[in-house]
Amino acid sequence: MADVEEKKPLVKDEPVDEIPIPAAATPPRRRAPPVPRWARLLLKFSMLAWAFVALRRSVRGNVDALLEIHGAQWIADAFSDAPEMAWGHPHRPHKVLFGKKAEQKFLTVPNAESAIAASRQYATKPHMAGTPGDFETAKDFLKLLQTELGISAPSDLPIYSAGTPQSRNATLGITKQKAPSAWIDTYYPVMNTPLDHSLQILDDDGNAVWTAALEEVADDTDPEAGKYYNAVTTWHGLSKGGSAKGRLVYANYGRKEDYDELVAKGVDLNGTIVLTRYGGIFRGLKARTLYMVKGAQEHGAVACLIYSDPRDDGTVTTENGYAPYPYGPARNPNSVQRGSTQFLSIYPGDPTTPGYPSYENSTRTNGTNIPSIPSLPLSWANAQVLLEEIKEGGTNRTISLVNNVDDRVIPIWNTMGVIPGHIKDEVVVVGNHRDAWVMGAADPSSGTASLHEVIRGLGELLRDGWTPLRTIVIASWDAEEYGLIGSTEWGEDFADWIDKHVVAYLNLDGSVSGSRYRPLATPSLAHFVRGTAEEIEHPTKPGKTLWDATEDRGVLTGEHIDAEALAVYNASEVDDARTNIGSACSGSGERLHGVASNNIGFQSTLQDPVYHYHSVFDSERWMEMYGDPGFGRHVAVAKHLGLQIVRFADSIVLPINTTHHAYRLEKYLDKVESIASSTNLDVDFSGLRSAIHDLQKASTKLDHEKTKAEKKLRRLLRRLAVRRLFRRNIRRALCRLKKLFGRECAHPGPGGAQLASAPADRAHVHAEKTFECSSMANGKSGLLPFKPRVGRAPAWAKEQHEPAVRKERFPMKRFKKAAKRVRAVNQKLKAFERGFIHEDGIKDREWYRNLDVAPGKWLGYGATTFPALTEAFTIEKNATMAEYEAKRLQKLIEKLAHEIKV
């Protein structure tokens, strides 16, 4: 066609046989061979493995931190009987103390400056039980609890009359409380106060040739002693009112052996007035007055006089060159030791309401634990006159004594505080008595000052978000000096509640009166007490521990020391060589119900400045100058007690060592057999010893079980924490991706669960609780251009957007089973001490029902092991009774072995 354009050649006309030579020879381009599929998979697997290891390391590094935050709550939820467990707590702070961190934080709080201020608050004015001063200290302690525990003070003071619905509900409702609380319970025991008294030597015509100046003498060298020297007269609480006349007989310490020696010498005590000296029945412990009076009464005496002898002050005497207080560390010769004459070995508490609480309208009985003869305490200055009167060649004239008292119902005030725990039905009780015979800088205000620091420490933990695993009850007992009245009445008032809920009682009397640390405990707590003491620094010796202070003694030496006083002091040393802890037996209401208990504090030695026990010279000046300069010992006791409280409250398995206690029982039996061998009584102990061996075996198996149970629960706790952290970290990674594509992401809470506390927040969570898969598929959501269909991703994503409180997808059955296993172990540990309770009690003093340990009939606060069996030999001297007591104890131990069997 003409109109068709002719195609032009692509190249110029050239000869076809000529090929142009290229400028450079270039090899042909080859495509790289493809990466094998197995290599790509290996690379992906390696990257995933690396990511997994990095994530696992991150998780492991934070497990302990997460357990500190949620561990106690998780354990508590596991122990709960609720069918489902609610995990995640919207109002929980992000950093909560628990376990070691809580203990370490607590130990930073007690300090000397605060302890001194507390001591001055309580020990610079008289506050004898039942007085206005005592009531003021009860309110002071209430305010302390309210302030430190974060309790809102009501418009009306929470002061309840014992027995009323308010008082009953306050204690019975402890296991249901969700927030700290504090109140004052008022009990109404029968006590007495002094009216007038006198002591004279009469001539043959009945005329007074000498009249004792019975009151203490002090001046302004000690400002409080000078001000209050006659605020509380020198007398004996619960002493018999009346008058008496008679010849004087000296009975040394007034011990049973002292009276037996007088009888053996043919001394007729009928109609006499007995003169004894303090000491001899446990230096540093109480219960001396009552047995001197009891012994005199039982031997026919008409009255008893008790004085403080410098021979019992060890090396710190004027004979060794020490000046008397307030000018030096030796005894002030005008000091007088007050005390109670209640017969604690019969029963403690209100004499007129044995076995039941002293309400305002309670039925009263005639007390059988108070003396029937009058008594008076004397100074060394007065005693010297009487000793001169009866020495060989003395005139030994008639002594006239008057002790008029007013017996009546007197209100007393127990101040109580509660810190609710996660496990509300397991309760640790901490107690210290508050009342003093005068000011009581050592007894009990040193203990009150230390407890003040403990409460400050617990308050600091609460403010940092700490909640104890178990509930803590803090008690400031009243009228202890009269005869353990405040604690006993509370114990009788709430006997069933105590039996059901209390797992331990930690006691603090006076915390400092000398240089030697002397903890006492039931054997089941001995290792716990020692172990915690070994973690506290020594108050005065760098590089040593508080436990090392159990070997401390004063530095005031001298050439002269009374041999008998030294022998008595050495005889009071502890007999448990393995733990170096003596047996605790306070006789308080808690011991009635078989609760593991202890008592701690620094006590006076024979080389310490003389502790003017129950005198006006037990003053703040004496404490700051001689008792504890710098208050390092007060602080050490506070740290030890507080560490015990936190550890006991937060431990998964109760720190009760039943095996050590079971092996101590065999030592107790060895002691009884030794006593029996010195008599002509033939008693077979083989059955009892066999029962003890069975208990030891059962307890050893319980040890293995509690170790396994706790290990299992802790392992599951860590698994739960690891699971939470994996989920939290993965969710954070997805959140970063969401933010990268401009989509908001809710923040996970401290446990990994999404938290929504406010209603608006919860609505927001609900609106976004699922992924928009269709939007993600077409890329319109701003998240990912594909559906996350790998494995559990969709279900996991949904979980992350559920409300804060939700069911945890974790092997709950296993967790619950492990918790119930621990719970069962703890119930057996709690039951151990209760296993020694016999409903029939001890002969002639049935109020005491613990056949393992009880106040000795002649020891008061001092403990007698296997008391009913021991006294069948030492007091009754009756083979039939000894056989009966051995069988009774055997059955009790056999039953206990069966009860703790696993």
Cβ within 8 Å of residue 534, ≥6 positions away? 545, 546, 547
What are the backbone dihedrals phi and psi of residue 600, each rounded to the nearest 5 degrees, phi first? -130, 160
Cα gap 514→657, rounded to integer Å: 30
Q: Which helix (H) or strand (E) holds 598?
A: strand 597-603
Tell which phi-psi region holds residue 84, choosing left (phi > 0), alpha (psi between -120 and 50) or beta. Answer: beta
Cβ within 8 Å of residue 68, ≥6 positions away? 96, 97, 98, 99, 101
How many other CB atoms are there within 10 angstroms of residue 719's CB atom?
A: 15
Q: Which two tokens stand for residue 815?
A: 């967790």
Cα gap 622→221, rounded to integer Å: 11
DSSP string computed for 462-494: HHTT---SEEEEEEEE--HHHHSHHHHHHHHHT
Cβ within 8 Å of residue 396, ≥6 positions away? 247, 248, 389, 390
What are the backbone dihedrals phi and psi of residue 222, each rounded to the nearest 5 degrees, phi first? -105, 105
Whether 480 is catalytic: yes
Cα gap 612→278, rounded to integer Å: 12
Cα gap 145→143, rounded to integer Å: 5
Q: Locate tokens 């002071």: which residue?
A: 140
Geometric angle at alpha carbon 91, from 85 and 95, rounded to 5°: 100
Pairing, β 806-807 against β 853-855: unpaired
Burial 343-365 (b: 16+ CB within 10 A, else e): bbbbbbbbbbbbeebbbeebeee
Q: Which two tokens stand for residue 867?
A: 């008391």
What are the backbone dihedrals phi and psi of residue 564, each rounded to the nearest 5 degrees, phi first? -70, -40
Strand order in the sheet with 242-246: 208-211, 190-202, 398-409, 242-246
How many other CB atoms are there within 10 angstroms of residue 496's CB atom?
A: 9
Query: 338 near 579, Cβ under 8 Å?
Result: no
Nearest Cα to Cα of residue 238 among 443, 477, 406, 490: 406
Q: Which two tokens stand for residue 501?
A: 């809920």
Query: 202 near 209, Cβ under 8 Å?
Result: yes
Cα gap 660→527, rounded to integer Å: 8
User: How many residues appear in the chain?
Assistant: 902
Q: Which two tokens stand for residue 381?
A: 């200055």
On the CB side of 562, CA atoms within 13 Å amount to 16
Catalytic residue selected from 216, 480, 808, 885: 480
- Strands (DSSP E) contained in 166-319 are 181-187, 190-202, 208-211, 236-237, 242-246, 248-250, 273-277, 303-307
Cα gap 256→254, rounded to integer Å: 7
Q: Locate tokens 């005491």: which residue?
A: 848
How many Å from the N-terminal Cα to the C-terminal Cα in the chain? 115
Q: Which two tokens stand for residue 443?
A: 């007894």
Burial 26-42 (b: 16+ CB within 10 A, else e): eeeeeeeeeeeeeeeee
How many other CB atoms are there within 10 angstroms of residue 458's CB atom?
A: 28
Residue numbers annotated as active site: 480
